[in-house]
Amino acid sequence: MATTQFADGNEIAYERHGDGQPLILLHGGMAPRQYWNPVLPQFEEYGAVIPQRPGFGTCLDDPAETSADEVLDREIQYVRTLVDAVDTVDGDPILFGHSFGALTAVEAARDAAVEAVLAYEPAVLPEAFRSEAELADRMATLIEAGDRRTAVKRYVEQVLHPDGIDDLDAWLAEWPVWPDCVELAEEVVRMNRAVEQYRLPDTLDVDASVLVMTGTDGPAFLRESARGVHEALPHSRLVEFDGVSHSGPSEAPERIAAEVEAFLQR
């Protein structure tokens, strides 16, 4: 695990896999770094960089004291710090974000020197949906009552499997990262509050080309938001994957990687 530092002295820890052009992989709000394990074999020609996000262990002195207002700004700052820290002898970094990581990637690219951004279902809420969003409050209430597992389960039900899943408890028991996700409950609440407060601007002033991706089997509001992000960007391409859910990069890594490679070769 390598480290670099924020301007305030806090460390960012990250893994580096392979050599080549840096590909910075930014996971979503409820996934540990291991989320990207199925993706890594598809990008062996790149130097994959997987950071430990703020609030997930090593970056903040006290993650619990970080407010929702600070969460997105803090994450944008750490991405910019990583972009400046990685070796660019093989080219400027590419940012690949999933969900909240995708939102962070797009926002960081507004003034970071990156070649491209790959954004799978950025965690942006359409205005009508955002004004009524209450997931963070519901989760916080459950956590305060001592039921962390149910709190995170509510997130899974609303975001990962909005159309329902047969025997969700059995599915979760077989999901390798589920215990880690339960441990991240407070971070997921802070992330959700940040998402609920974020308003998509009319224009995202990103110079780099952006590939915005979405899947037909994920939440409808995220597909709507993906289109909104695409329309707000000056240089973007929108791709929708049939039969793929919000967990697209880890669920269908070969299909995602093929589209990414075609986009980067243009």
Q: Of the given ranges (86-95, 171-180, 241-250), which has the lowest mean pLDDT? A: 171-180
In this predicted structure, what is the pLDDT of residue 68?
A: 59
Average pLDDT over residues 26-31: 76
> What is 2-125+202-265's CATH number, 3.40.1010.10, 3.40.1260.10, 3.40.50.1820, 3.30.930.10?
3.40.50.1820
What's the pLDDT tens digit per position in 107-139?
999 999 999 999 999 999 988 777 777 888 999
The mean pLDDT value of the chain amounts to: 86
Half-sphere exposure of 59 (CA within 13 A, CB side): 24
**How far apart (Å, rounded) are the C-alpha atoms in residues 249 and 31?**
12
In this predicted structure, what is the pLDDT of residue 114?
A: 97
**148-155 vs 185-197: helix axis angle to the nearest 10?**
40
Q: How many residues does the chain have?
A: 266
In this predicted structure, what is the pLDDT of residue 263?
A: 97
Residue 58 has pLDDT above 80, yes or no: no
What's the pLDDT tens digit per position in 9-24?
667 778 889 889 999 9
In this predicted structure, what is the pLDDT of residue 175?
A: 80
**How far apart (Å, rounded) are the C-alpha atoms in residues 134 and 157?**
14
